Amino acid sequence: MVNEHSLTVSLEEFGLSQYEAQAYVALIAKGTISASELAYYSEIPRTKIYPTLLKLENKKLAIISKSKPIMCTAIAPEDAFDGIIHEQINKVNAMNTLVSNLKKASEESRKSRGSEEKRYFHISANSVVDQLQTMIEGSKASIKIITDQWGLGLLAECKEQLLSVLRRNLDVKVLVTPSQICSESYRVIPEGVEIRATEITQNCFIFDEVELLMVNNDNGKGAIFSSTDILGGNQTKIFSNVWKNATKTKALADMTKTEAQEIYKIIKIINEMGLMHILSSSTTSKKPEFEILRLLEKNGIYFKSKSLDDVIEMIDAIIQITCSGHVNFGANAKNITVDSKLNGGHSLPWIFILDGLLQKKGYKTRTVYQNNPNKGEKVHIKISKN
């Protein structure tokens, strides 16, 4: 059953008074009735019913008989409100035209001043997730994100929106802190989002390189910066520079958080200190593979409890991350092959580690290095038991 009260309220929004709305709804429900009956059914005071009927007649919403007793009938809604509907449509069209003209005038004014007006909007902590979801869904080309633990937690609440833009083949890149690799929030992010790790922390969400959402992890509040070509461009350049040097994490996705953190730590130690350590110790040792293992042990990385398969799995993940390559080893094989798509000796530190560990586990090794300028590096480690 239609709620007559809600109909009355809706008619008031179209410009009818309360009595006019009550009378029209009663007439629609009862058909042709006398004025006194209308006063009863519409709960309008008898002294007000006739002036109310005259107003409805003037608005072409009702017909009043000239006979006595006075009888009244509602005009059918499709006829009664046709004029009002067209009037509302005309108002909306006029408003759209006005907004377009104002926008054009604003753009011309900014051009004449030789600058673009910058705007930002504060977002309350309770509204940040909703705003983030809306901005992700509204993206047209790319989303670039730098997050700390707080920001990654917010992003994890946007899984459905991320899946939606991935289906549209948007480029989505996320930089996370090393401590978040393989965390619960990390695992929620859909496959297809490219994730790398960096020590740089902030919560900056860049949409289509021009619109930014910044989030304060101290209080959860956010700010949107829009129409900011300069700011968006600068943040995009910063992101690109950090991204280039950040650590890929795809090869770690199926590992435990502890395993992933250990591999990240190994990569960080070798990248920061490995080459210098080998060079400085070369005068006292002719075994760079053992020197690099000592460097790792000095920094809390131990391989004693790991099996050969575990070690090879770790080095394989590292080669994927650092050299876009793989380690190939069969259970009955006497040969380990390390493929690297990068030239210039990028794979050598990891070869030293693998070679040193094999020797510590009682294997005799012989290393053959091949370099193809077009295909990268390939290293064969031939192994046999002492």
List pLDDT tens digits, range 272-316. 776 666 655 554 556 767 778 888 888 888 887 888 888 888 889
List pLDDT tens digits, range 135-163. 999 999 999 999 988 899 999 999 999 99
Question: How far apart are alpha carbons 239 and 144 in whole angstroms?
Answer: 7
pLDDT score recorded for residue 144? 94
- Contact indicator for 327, 345 with CB cutoff of 8 Å: no
Give me the count of residues in the chain.
Answer: 386
What DSSP character marks residue 102? Answer: H
List pLDDT tens digits, range 233-242. 778 888 888 8
Phi, psi of 335 (to 5 degrees): -145, 130
Contacts of 329 (CB under 8 A, 6+ apart): 312, 335, 336, 337
325 three-class SS:
coil
The pTM assigned to this predicted structure is: 0.62
- Contact indicator for 158, 136 with CB cutoff of 8 Å: yes
4 three-class SS:
helix
List pLDDT tens digits, range 337-380. 888 888 777 788 888 888 888 888 888 888 888 877 777 888 88
pLDDT score recorded for residue 111? 58
The DSSP bridge pattern shows strands 142-146 and 171-176 to be parallel
- Contact indicator for 363, 384 with CB cutoff of 8 Å: yes
| Token pair belonging to 171 | 């480029």
Triad 256, 260, 263: Cα angle to 5°:
145
Catalogue all structural domains in the chain, each as residue range(s) with its CATH number: 4-80 (1.10.10.10), 121-248 (3.30.870.10), 253-385 (3.30.1380)
